[in-house]
Structure 1
Amino acid sequence: MNPINNSNRTNPAQTSEVTANSALGLKNEFLQMMVAQIKNQDPLNPLDGAEYVSQLAQFSMVEGIEGLRAGQAGQAEMLYTQQVLQSTALIGTTVLVPSTGIAAKQGEQPSGVIRLDSAADEVTLTVKDLNGKVINTQIWKYPESGDIAFEVPALDEGSYVFDVEVRMGSQVLNGAPLLSREVEKISLPKTGSDIQLSIAGMGSVSLFSISEFGKTIS
């Protein structure tokens, strides 16, 4: 797992503190100026207090908005930290990843599911090598909506393409299966981009592209 680099990350609590202090400083400066003007006002031509009250209300409103923003930034940081902690626990677990291909190890038997939103007349899974040679074909007649579990016979080491064809009447749809793969490591971004999972035989994918966690295909 890559170490977390905090050099480019800004602490929202520190940022909000500086901003809040700046607004508070302006408000205090205004109050001091107001007190000084009241002390030195012409008794025959007193200052209009309503204007000062209005300006004080505006300062208070700005402080409230800055406080709200600081709270939101703090919540976002807490949520990101929680995602990081939870994602590290995924190492070594099995996930379902939508993909049309993998790099298989010698003797590996890839498994997964084909997810149907509605019933179909026929579903075909075709596995090919990079030369286009068909390695395995599986066909399901009149499947209902839901998941169709599959397992491919042992493969030689190499890269393979998985193609799903769904027939519904005269309509033919092509898609990708959800392959059951192991999470090997976690990559934590320096900025606010997605947490990346290193998936066996696939490389890096976004945490949010995973369809299901802890899925075992039997």
Structure 2
Amino acid sequence: MNDIASLTGAGATYGAARAGVQRADNGTLGQKDFLTLMTAQLQNQDPFKPMENGEFLAQMAQFSTVSGIESVNATLGDISSQIGGGRLATASSLMNQQVLVPGTLARPDAEGGIHGAAELAEAASGVSVIYSDATSGAELHRQELGAQGAGLVPFDWTDVPPGTAAVRVSIQSDTETPPAPFVYARVVGVDMPEGGQDLTLRIEDYGLRSSLEITSIR
């Protein structure tokens, strides 16, 4: 910022007033100091060479700019803190939740159920969901969903036998394009990259997935 005396040509008495202004602890002039200097300048200006309107407006513009920058910086700091806190809260709330991911391997949730969805590219007159033991391949359960329209068709098996560790899900239909299976899998970890990037989820059996890929949470 330009020195005020060099802008206005204020005399020695103004310089003495300026010397008496107390600086802030960080060694810079604050808003109060600026107003004190401005008042002293107006009181001690040369009556034969008063401050021009343009000079006065230029100083006020400088004052407004500095004040505005300080306000913006403070606001951005508050927003950054709020975003950081929100990201941490989101990460904590996702732990041990089940999220919908494309895949066929599913594990019973805390209530002993397996949940998912079949994505149909076109309407089908019949849709079947087959649940098999992930290790032996033996069929454990079959579900007939009947006629379904195009889109995501949810399915649930709520009475999985106790002790079942992992189940392989397959979808059958009479459509030309095979249905795409989706299952709910547990979130076992959440990574918070620096720089405001998106959260990365560690999903059981499916590894790392961006939070932007998640469309449904149980």
TM-score range, shorter chain: 0.5 to 0.7
> In 2, distance between residues paired with 1:188 and 1:103?
26
Query: Is 1:208 matched up with 2:212?
Result: yes
Q: With a CA cutoff of 8 Å and minimum separation of 6, indicate the structure with the bigger relative contact order.
A: 1
State the identity %.
Answer: 22
The 1:100/1:92 distance shift into structure 2, 3 A limit, reads: closer
The 1:84/1:39 distance shift into structure 2, 3 A limit, reads: same
> In 2, distance between residues paired with 1:66 and 1:178?
50
> In 2, distance between residues paired with 1:53 and 1:30?
14
- 117, 142, 146: which one aligns with 2:147: 142
RMSD of aligned residue pairs (Cα, Å) = 4.9
After superposition, the C-alpha distances for 1:37-76 in whole angstroms (9 at most, x for unaligned) are: 87353x3332214531343134314422441343134223
> In 1, distance between residues paired with 2:99 and 2:59?
58
Any unmatched runs of 5+ in structure 1? Answer: 1-20, 128-134
Once the two structures are TM-superposed, the CA of residue 173 in structure 1 deviates from its matched residue by 5.3
Match of 1:180 in 2: 184
TM-score, L = length of structure 1 = 0.54
- Asked whether the 8 Å contact 2:116–2:155 carries over to 1, the reply is yes
Any unmatched runs of 5+ in structure 2? Answer: 1-25, 108-112, 132-138
Runs of 4+ in structure 1 displaced over 6 angstroms?
124-127, 135-139, 160-166
- Asked whether the 8 Å contact 1:184–1:198 carries over to 2, the reply is yes
Match of 2:117 in 1: 113
Match of 1:194 in 2: 198
- 60, 81, 84: which one aligns with 2:85: 81
Once the two structures are TM-superposed, the CA of residue 143 in structure 1 deviates from its matched residue by 0.1
1:161-176, aligned counterparts within 5 Å?
A: 167=175, 176=180
The 1:91/1:58 distance shift into structure 2, 3 A limit, reads: same
The 1:139/1:75 distance shift into structure 2, 3 A limit, reads: same
Match of 2:52 in 1: 48
1:51-130, aligned counterparts within 5 Å?
A: 51-93=55-97, 95-100=98-103, 102=105, 111-115=115-119, 120-121=123-124
- Asked whether the 8 Å contact 1:196–1:205 carries over to 2, the reply is yes
